Amino acid sequence: MSTKNSKKQNQKRKTSKISTTSSEQAVSTQTSPKKKSPKGAEVNLREPWIKRKSGYIAVGLISLALAVLVAYQIIKGSGDWGQGILWGLIFGASILLIFFGMNWFHSLFNKDKGEKQTTESKK
C-alpha cells in the first residue's frame, strides 16, 4: 500500500513540476519585449474620447436640463417661483463649477502634455 501511495505522490510531483515549468515559460514569454505594432493599432487611454467643443455642449445641456428639472420640482412642490428658479440656477451652476474646476485641477498636473500639444499644432 505504501508503495502505491508513494508512486502516486511521485507522479503528482512530476506533473506539478511540469505545470510549474510551463507556467514559468508562459510568464517569460509575457515579459519578453513585444514587437512594435503599427501606429494605428496603438491605443492611448489618455487621449480624449470626444472633442472639447462636444464635451462643453453636452455638459451645458445636461446642467441646463437638471437646473430646469430642479426648478420644476421645487415650483411644483411649494408653488414659490422665486425659490424654484433660485435653486435651479444654483444646481445648474454647481454642475458647471465642478466640471470646470476639475478641468482646471487636471491642467495643473498635465502642463507638459499641454505644452507638447501646442508645439505640435504650431508645426
Per residue in 111-123, pLDDT tens?
766 555 555 555 5
**Residue 119 within any structural domain of the chain:** no
**Residue 121 within any structural domain of the chain:** no
Q: Which domain holds residue 73?
A: 58-109
Mean pLDDT of 60-68: 97
Give me 27's grid cell.
510568464
**Residue 115 within any structural domain of the chain:** no
Q: What is the pLDDT of residue 102?
A: 93
Q: Global pTM?
A: 0.54
Q: How far apart are CA 49 and CA 43, in angstroms?
A: 11
**Residue 27 within any structural domain of the chain:** no
**Residue 12 within any structural domain of the chain:** no
Closest CA relative to residue 71, chosen from 84, 86, 89, 90: 84
Q: What is the pLDDT of residue 90?
A: 96
Strands (E), 9-107: none
Number of structural domains in the chain: 1
Cα dihedral sign for 106, 108, 112, 116? positive
In a 10 Å sphere around its CB, with 0-12 CB exposed, 13-18 middle and 19+ buried, how is residue 95 labelled? middle
